[in-house]
Amino acid sequence: MERKIILYNSNDIKIGETFLRRAQQLVRRQRAAWTDDSQTAIRFYLNMEHMDSMSDDPIPVSTAEEVQANQLCFALWNGKHYYPGVVRSVSLNHVHVDFLDNFTSLVEKQYVVSLQEGLDLLEFEGCWNGWAFFRGVLTSHQPLVMNYDDGEIEQIPLKYLRGTMPERV
């Protein structure tokens, strides 16, 4: 079972708990900061400069590592969901992605992340039994195990995942 992290607001009042993975996402997205070196709690803070720009536009992802040809990745498709694919080539501003469902597209570089970054950053839906997408949490990366919100659990192929950026706080 994943470790729980305590959530505090900017006035140091406890407002709840979350899982370690979600806490790391919030810190990475600069929505929270660790309260101590042992990483047992985070403190939320509002990023006011982004409050005015909240919209349904895709949120660019900031990648710590550059994607390279023949690397697995997650890339934005149709402006909403990130799907798994393989990088065919990389240019100055775009990445040519062969999605695992046999589509191919030229995607702006800011909307492509490596496989590992995507697994750490995105919130997922899984195509349950190849039928329809349902929200859940990946509880394991090797093998990929999806724990759906309704309680169902299944080992899921990478091509049956799609992700979205976490909602803004």
SS3 assignment for 14-35: EEEEEEHHHHHHHHHCCCEEEC
* Strand pairing category for 104-108 and 161-164: unpaired
- pTM for the complete prediction? 0.64
Q: Report the percentage of the chain scoring pLDDT > 70.
A: 79
1.10.3210, 2.20.25, 2.30.30, 1.20.1260: CATH of 121-164: 2.30.30
**Per-residue pLDDT tens over the stretch 24-62:** 777 776 667 888 888 888 886 644 333 333 345 566 565
- Answer whether the bond into residue 166 is a cis peptide, omega within 30°: no
The architecture that CATH gives domain 72-118 is: Roll (2.30)
Domain residue extents for the chain? 4-46, 72-118, 121-164
**Per-residue pLDDT tens over the stretch 96-129:** 999 998 889 999 998 999 998 888 888 999 987 6
Q: Between residues 86 and 132, which one has the greater pLDDT?
A: 86
Average pLDDT, integer, range 142-165: 89
**Least confident stretch, 8-12, 76-80, 133-137:** 8-12
Whether 158 shows a pLDDT value over 90: the answer reads: yes
Domains 72-118 and 121-164 share a fold: yes
